[in-house]
Structure 1
Amino acid sequence: MTPIPHRLALAAVAATLLASCGPVRAPVGETAVAARRPNILYIMADDLGYSDIGAFGGEIETPNLDALAREGRLLTNHHTGTVCAITRAMLISGTDHHLVGEGTMGEPRDERKGLPGYEGYLNESALSVAQLLQDGGYHTYMAGKWHIGSGREGKGKTPDAWGFERSYALLPGAARNHFGGEAPDAKNYTEDGRFVQPGPGFYSTDFYTRKLIEYIDSKRGDGKPFFAYAAYTSPHWPLQVPEPWLSKYKGRYDAGYDAVRLARIERMKKLGILPAGFQPYAGLPETLTRSPATPNSGTPQAKYVNAINGAPQGYVDHGPGRVAKRWSSLTPLEKKAQARYMEIYAGMVDNLDHNIGLLIRHLKEIGEYDNTFIMFQSDNGAEGWPVDGGADPKATDEANAAPEVFAKLGTDQVKRIQYGLRWAEVSAAPFRNVKGSAHEGGVSTPLIVRQPGGRGQGANVDVKDATYVTDNTATFLALAGITPPNQPAPADIDPATGRDRNAGKVVYKGRNVYPVTGTSLLPLLAGSQAAPRGLPLADESYGRGYVFSTDGRWKAVWMEPPQGPVDGHWQLFDLRTDRAENHDVSAQHPKVVAGLVAQWKRYMTAVGGVEPLRPAGFY
């Protein structure tokens, strides 16, 4: 089978970008850069859910993030990519992930392998916010997860090649062990581009904090501002945390999924995160056995339902479903293991908050806190990886509940522990679905912003303006008073197609790159309306897609069956009344769906996206 012909060469693609969005400049008067420009501390959690922290309704103790929220702003309608590498590529480049090498997370294993934009690492068409800030006189530091390039793929893929003056980086998407247990020949960590091994006393979150403080202090006396990227790997699996956090939440989750989720939702309403009448998503319906794949699934004859072709076009095939049990259906041993998973997860989040507190305390001690812009978010929705790949996890959970195994859960060990789909739904409350999904639970994350000097103190709950991870990039540059490159790249005509391969690109240090398309959040933080967006709020990953209407009311979502509709139709949700995406109203508004799907196809053309022949989530 050949790829679906839904991609134009990037030459024609990029023309759409430059014509529609142009270079991003900070509006006049927006930055009002002070005599001493602010430091920027950007903190990213890994797979943290929307409601996990206290400021967003969680029961986990996060006093430092809660204090940061009280001094700053909560942006409650913030969006990311569906998975970590995609989000990180957009953060660093300031534009869509398809354009800069992460069309999917890593190199695709399907017919898209080798296509432009699917390299699996940050490619040469990308700008880097760290390089631009470094050019503008900032020190640039990073500690934590990189995930958008690896030394195994050759030079130029690690953070030092992308403008980070000092960096200690985990190159792949997950640590084998948060305590640093690595094979002797492993090449998973680098410092300043050189392979290193974690040493004694390593615990990822604690270590990254110490390393970032070390970097900040190393050049503190020269008067230059800094950009520090704290790319924590917590609370990503494997679920591991040292004492006292390992034991702190013992017994807190024995009541099960629904009790914790509903309590979070009530707190969110009291905090004003949700309106009083908000109808939350109740979780996936219970399935005790996997639904079967279609007969042709896995054969050459299969015609898989995708975002372009559904049942009306003769595409009906899909893979199997997955088991999703309610708390009441678990055995006592399953409940014991499941509650313990969440206890450890909560301890990881608590420890993360503790380390964020250490960073903030250090900034205060060295007199830099009042001159530092601080932003915190998660990289995507909560991680709901099925413990046994979609099959009934009973055997795994009951084995983990055995005394000799249970006593070691969460400690320094090789065994990988995850908390599964149902706890991820709790973390994603009040929204539908989890990481990897295009629903709000997969792409909505908490966002806290604290501006220098405490400007605009007092949390501002903003549920009207949707924001996006590329907006972070534009915000950092606006804070620094830096105008991104805007000189159009010279034409490079492809003799085979006659298209300009550099259309839409700009010139940066001899490279032809895609411009920043995010929108600075500074006007929104100051109480004004956000500026027009460079690219539509839309995305595609693993064949799953979503697109928002320009007024923010409608959202069209596509997900492959059986997780999505079996007939393959695009779902439609009225976010004005149903941000939890409970009610698919596509049948009532076919013209709205048609318009949004057409907009999504234009977006795919603009970024060079290719809908795979067999959509499948990264699980």
Structure 2
Amino acid sequence: MKTKIQIFSILFVFLVACNNNPNSEQKETPVSKFPNFIVIVADDLGYSDLGAFGGEINTPVLNALAKEGIQFTNFHVLPTCSPTRSSLMSGNDNHVAGLGVMSETIYPAIKDLPGYAGHLSKQVATLPEVLATGGYNTYMSGKWHLGETDDQSPFARGFQETFSFAEGAASHWSDMRALGAETSVTYRRNGMPVATLPEDFYSTKNYTDSIIHFIDKNKTDEKPFLAYLSFTAPHDPLHAPAEYIAKYKGRYDQGWDELRNERVKGLLEKGIISEDVAQEELSQNVMVQPWATLDEQSKKEKTRDMEVYAAMVDYIDASVGRLTDYLKANNLYDNTIILFFSDNGANGAPATAYPGNADGQYLSTFNNELENRGLPNSFIDMGAGWAQASSANFRLFKSFTSEGGIKSPLIVKPLSKSAKQGLNTSLLHVSDIMPTLLDYAGIAYPKEVNGTPVKTPIGESFKTVLNGGETHKQRNKGIGYELFEMKAYIEGDWKILRLVAPFGNGDWQLYNLAEDPSELNDLSATNPEKRMELIDAYQAYAKENEVFDHQGLFDGFFKQAYGVDE
């Protein structure tokens, strides 16, 4: 059996190589009646990493897409990877979709609750399932993280062609080393296990190769397609080709405190934040050590780590460029809507926070000498300091329901330039993407799938913004959050936020995001009625979406994971 799997894997890689050359002889590709959709998701990309969002990393392709299309500056996701992806695939709240908790952190009190299964629920229809009923080809390449068994794979949930990675993260190289001592590494091609990877495998490269191959395979059949390109970069372990790392040598010697100041200036220059916001004192993060207090060896190592991270983002940009070049060469670009965003804020968690890594034994098996950091057989992470800089100008980062954890850069290339280009401040949520794409495809969400009733999406289409019909999306309902006891509710410019200690006071705080996007000034005392109004709205959201009140069960979890005290 193993021999057959290996042969299948080698054959698949060979087919990708043979069919993936944009310079090969091209046939005229017919334009389908309905638009194609490409959804590209980066993994743990910070809000201000891209040049279009004020960052210094080399991202010319994504910057050009932002200039050509619409740059949404008020787009929200979930605090961590799989909950965001569940809302993307279902158009629904992450609890309704089964991802009220990540599979890695299920504990006894919630393990039998339907909203906390840790895998994509059958009470939702997926985006590819629904689009396929309307004649769409559906392709997926990269990270799934919505179920690890065969019947939970993307191939089983509506994608017709897949090269998928089941878990949350792993080595980006061919060695298939796991993220933690208690985690697995599972690749599949159309539901079949892939036992080995090619020697020159690098996740971002091969995921892009596969999605181009899938599109190319069926480009002449006159059917529209959905292509989901789901990178694992720049999630740790941080890995990048040596030549990309070398491009950033010395760029981050100034440290994370100064980088965050640079990013704030970049956001101001791009018009994403105002002068008043840029001049505010940045919120303190108990997980971040001042750069000046690090010893020289630590500074060298941490600088190298950020160089690797930047290289990963740079490589993502180049890979998106390969994809868009292919589309243009094959008469597919103009009829394709492209969306690019991150699944959550930058990741400040240390490698010891992953399952089985706390004692350091597994991590000690890697070679993290300075010159090997970011190369094969290394395991380095971004750390809280760089993550906070990457999340500028917002509070905290991944895992938290503060803006640094749930605000993502969103770039959309619409079908034409009829839409108003430039910055757009509409309050959007990741659950809005599925209704929007179905709106373009002219396909109604079903009431049942294979005889099983499914829940209607809560997301709201923003097609009218993309096609130029309106300049600002007005939401019908607020947006609720709950993950790891971190809670929030956003309605218009107002937000209530509850963070567990020591990151918050454990009680609801009130912020006006239009005036205070950094969440520095709690307005609870001066606006008690607004605070109570939003608390009531949150309670209604929680009831409607099967949110379990597990307050107290996560006490100490984050303090232990991030190594901080009260």
Report the equivalent of 1:127.
125
Aligned mates of 1:477, 1:331 — CA distance in 2: 54
Within the alignment, does 1:583 sit opposite 2:521 as a pair? yes
Measured at CA, do residues 610 and 404 of structure 1 come closer, stay the same or move farther in structure 2, by a change above 3 Å?
Answer: closer
Aligned mates of 1:338, 1:42 — CA distance in 2: 32
Report the equivalent of 1:206.
205
Pairwise mapping of residues 160-199 of structure 1 onto structure 2 (< 5 A)? 160-175=155-170, 177-182=171-176, 188-196=186-194, 197-199=196-198
Q: CA offset at residue 334 of structure 1?
A: 1.2
Letter in 2 for 1:115: L
Pairwise mapping of residues 95-244 of structure 1 onto structure 2 (< 5 A)? 95-106=92-103, 108-151=106-149, 155-175=150-170, 177-182=171-176, 188-196=186-194, 197-244=196-243
Aligned mates of 1:482, 1:523 — CA distance in 2: 16
Report the equivalent of 1:497.
none
Aligned mates of 2:435, 2:266 — CA distance in 1: 33
* Stretch moving more, 586-595 or 373-382: 586-595
Q: CA offset at residue 71 of structure 1?
A: 0.4
Within the alignment, does 1:561 sit opposite 2:522 as a pair? no
Within the alignment, does 1:601 sit opposite 2:543 as a pair? no
Aligned mates of 1:121, 1:141 — CA distance in 2: 20
Q: Secondary structure at the match of 2:331?
A: coil
Report the equivalent of 1:277.
276
2:292 to 318, 328, 338: 328
Within the alignment, does 1:63 sit opposite 2:2 as a pair? no
Report the equivalent of 1:343.
307
String of CA shifts for 1:166-223, please: whole Å, max 9, x gaps.
0111100011x10021279965111101110322210000000101111001111111
Q: Secondary structure at the match of 1:453?
A: coil
Aligned mates of 1:608, 1:124 — CA distance in 2: 15
Q: Secondary structure at the match of 1:342?
A: helix
Within the alignment, does 1:542 sit opposite 2:484 as a pair? yes
Letter in 2 for 1:189: Y
Aligned residue-pair number: 513
Measured at CA, do residues 607 and 529 of structure 1 come closer, stay the same or move farther in structure 2, by a change above 3 Å?
Answer: farther
Pairwise mapping of residues 87-486 of structure 1 onto structure 2 (< 5 A)? 87-106=84-103, 108-151=106-149, 155-175=150-170, 177-182=171-176, 188-196=186-194, 197-279=196-278, 285=284, 323-386=287-350, 405-413=369-377, 415-456=378-419, 458-459=421-422, 461-463=423-425, 465-485=426-446
Report the equivalent of 2:460.
519
String of CA shifts for 1:579-606, please: whole Å, max 9, x gaps.
1111112122222222211211111110
| Runs of 5+ consecutive residues of structure 2 not aligned to the other structure | 1-30, 355-359, 562-566
String of CA shifts for 1:110-129, please: whole Å, max 9, x gaps.
41111121111011101111
Measured at CA, do residues 221 and 599 of structure 1 come closer, stay the same or move farther in structure 2, by a change above 3 Å?
Answer: same
Q: Secondary structure at the match of 2:140?
A: strand
* Stretch moving more, 203-212 or 270-279: 270-279
Measured at CA, do residues 535 and 101 of structure 1 come closer, stay the same or move farther in structure 2, by a change above 3 Å?
Answer: farther
Query: Percent identity of the aligned residues?
Result: 36
String of CA shifts for 1:530-583, please: whole Å, max 9, x gaps.
66646531110011100013xx12110001111111xx2211111121011111
Aligned mates of 1:563, 1:574 — CA distance in 2: 19
Measured at CA, do residues 89 and 614 of structure 1 come closer, stay the same or move farther in structure 2, by a change above 3 Å?
Answer: same
Measured at CA, do residues 101 and 535 of structure 1 come closer, stay the same or move farther in structure 2, by a change above 3 Å?
Answer: farther
- Check the 8 A contact 1:102/1:120 in 2, yes or no: yes
Letter in 1 for 2:70: R
Q: Secondary structure at the match of 1:100?
A: coil
Letter in 2 for 1:614: L
Measured at CA, do residues 513 and 519 of structure 1 come closer, stay the same or move farther in structure 2, by a change above 3 Å?
Answer: same
Letter in 2 for 1:603: Y
Measured at CA, do residues 535 and 100 of structure 1 come closer, stay the same or move farther in structure 2, by a change above 3 Å?
Answer: farther
Q: Secondary structure at the match of 2:66?
A: helix
Q: CA offset at residue 456 of structure 1?
A: 2.8
Measured at CA, do residues 161 and 198 of structure 1 come closer, stay the same or move farther in structure 2, by a change above 3 Å?
Answer: same
TM-score, scaled to structure 1: 0.79
Measured at CA, do residues 286 and 542 of structure 1 come closer, stay the same or move farther in structure 2, by a change above 3 Å?
Answer: closer
- Check the 8 A contact 1:142/1:212 in 2, yes or no: yes
Letter in 1 for 2:230: A
Report the equivalent of 1:615.
554
Runs (4+) off by over 4 Å: 183-187, 280-284, 387-390, 529-535, 616-619
- Check the 8 A contact 2:427/2:475 in 1, yes or no: no
Measured at CA, do residues 482 and 514 of structure 1 come closer, stay the same or move farther in structure 2, by a change above 3 Å?
Answer: same
Q: CA offset at residue 529 of structure 1?
A: 6.0
Letter in 1 for 2:383: G
Aligned mates of 2:544, 2:534 — CA distance in 1: 15
Q: CA offset at residue 446 of structure 1?
A: 0.2
Q: CA offset at residue 615 of structure 1?
A: 2.9
Q: CA offset at residue 348 of structure 1?
A: 0.3
TM-score, scaled to structure 2: 0.86
Q: CA offset at residue 364 of structure 1?
A: 0.6
Aligned mates of 1:35, 1:198 — CA distance in 2: 34
Q: Secondary structure at the match of 1:97?
A: coil
Aligned mates of 1:183, 1:571 — CA distance in 2: 41
Aligned mates of 2:445, 2:474 — CA distance in 1: 17
- Check the 8 A contact 1:99/1:608 in 2, yes or no: yes
String of CA shifts for 1:469-518, please: whole Å, max 9, x gaps.
01111111111111212xxxxxxxxxxxxxxxxxxxx3233111111221
Per chain length, whose mean CA-contact separation is higher, i.e. which structure has more relative contact order (CA < 8 Å, sep 6+)?
Answer: 1
Measured at CA, do residues 187 and 333 of structure 1 come closer, stay the same or move farther in structure 2, by a change above 3 Å?
Answer: closer
- Check the 8 A contact 1:468/1:518 in 2, yes or no: yes
What's the Cα RMSD here? 2.4
Letter in 2 for 1:462: N
Measured at CA, do residues 383 and 96 of structure 1 come closer, stay the same or move farther in structure 2, by a change above 3 Å?
Answer: same
Letter in 2 for 1:250: K
Q: Secondary structure at the match of 1:407?
A: helix
